[in-house]
Amino acid sequence: MTGFPCELCPRRCMRRPGFCGAGDGPRLFRWGPHFGEEPPLAAGGGSGCIFFSRCTMKCVYCQNSPWSWRGEGTDRTVGELAGVMRDLATKDGCSNWNLVSPTPYLPYVRAAAGILASEGVRLPFVWNSSGYERVETLEEYRDLCDVALFDLRYSSDETAMRLSQAPEYVRHARAAVKWAHENCPGAPGGVPGLIVRILVLPGHSAEAVESLRWLAGEVSNEVHVSIMAQYTPAYQALKLPPLDRKVNRGEYEEVAEAAEELGFANGWTQDFSAADPKLAFLGENMPAGAGPIGES
């Protein structure tokens, strides 16, 4: 797996390092049990999150910029990655392996999972992603996608380019969601195979509503949706109105009400009044290494 011509994400760089900056081995920033994910994922011993360094998107409002943009973290061997996954399963008692932005590292995750399978250690995989994925990659690595936790972040390619440098985001993310709906089996405890996250961005609530309309019309309104109020200005967005503020109550309610009108009955909305900036989970404040997620 050295210097392979990388086509894992829609950018298809054909070289490493490419756009995301990932090298020839897994690079991890933080891992540990997370109890703040959607309830079925966080049940039991929590969701065993692994935050990989680097990302295939470059969002101006990224809350994880130290490791997503700047690549902070530590290079690990496949054996060490297997050790992290083993600890999450056997020491922490997590309910799943929640791979956060794993796409550049899929071959290494599969290799690590192979080591653990030979020991009889197996948890369901959650593929936790911006949704900027290739269907061909999802097909090839379907064994790592029991549950797709995918964003539908934009319904305009112009916005996706401007805010995340992601060409043709809408086509790719929607195809990924469709694929997941048809293919992901889910996990024990009633965890659905697909959860679509709708992060309401300030000034962009109409795009979130449009994503919901597409989902109801082209996939199903039975899909579990998670409508998120927690946007917190960070990184470059601190100087980019309207992204320099929290989402307001009117914007959030517009999206939540649209979900109700479209017949979405499965999923989660957030208590808007609880979405206090002081309480928001800001990844950029999280230390590296092992430990619970969302606490420091």
Bond prior to 66 in cis (omega within 30° of 0): no
- Point out which span in 10-18, 39-47, 92-100, 196-204 binds ligand SF4 (CB under 6 A): 10-18
Confirm or reject binding of residue 104 to ligand SF4 (CB under 6 A).
Answer: yes
Distance of CA 185 to the CA centre of its chain: 18
9 contributes a contact to ligand SF4 by CB under 6 A: yes
With a CB cutoff of 8 Å and minimum separation 6, the contacts of 264 are: 212, 216, 221, 223, 225
Nearer to ligand SF4, 7 or 80 (CB): 7
Considering the complex, state which of residue 56 and residue 95 has its C-beta at the smaller distance from ligand SF4.
56
Q: Which amino acid is at 202?
A: P
3-state secondary structure of 142: helix
Q: Which residue has the tokens 């440098």?
A: 165
User: Which of 39, 48, 103, 109 is in the footprint of ligand SF4 by CB under 6 A?
Assistant: 103
Total binding residues for ligand SF4 by CB under 6 A? 15
If one asks whether residue 166 binds ligand SF4 (CB under 6 A), the answer comes out as no
Exposure of 129 by Cβ count < 10 A (0-12 exposed, 13-18 middle, 19+ buried)? buried
Residue partners of 108: CB distance under 8 A and separation at least 6: 1, 25, 26, 78, 81
20 binds ligand SF4 per the rule CB under 6 A: yes
Total Cβ atoms within 10 A of residue 264: 23
Which of the ranges 13-21, 121-129, 158-166, 253-261 carries the binding residues for ligand SF4, by CB under 6 A?
13-21
**Binding window for ligand SF4 (CB under 6 A); candidates: 5-13, 32-40, 94-102, 110-118:** 5-13
Q: Which residues bind ligand SF4 (CB under 6 A)?
A: 6-9, 11-13, 16, 18-20, 22, 56, 103-104
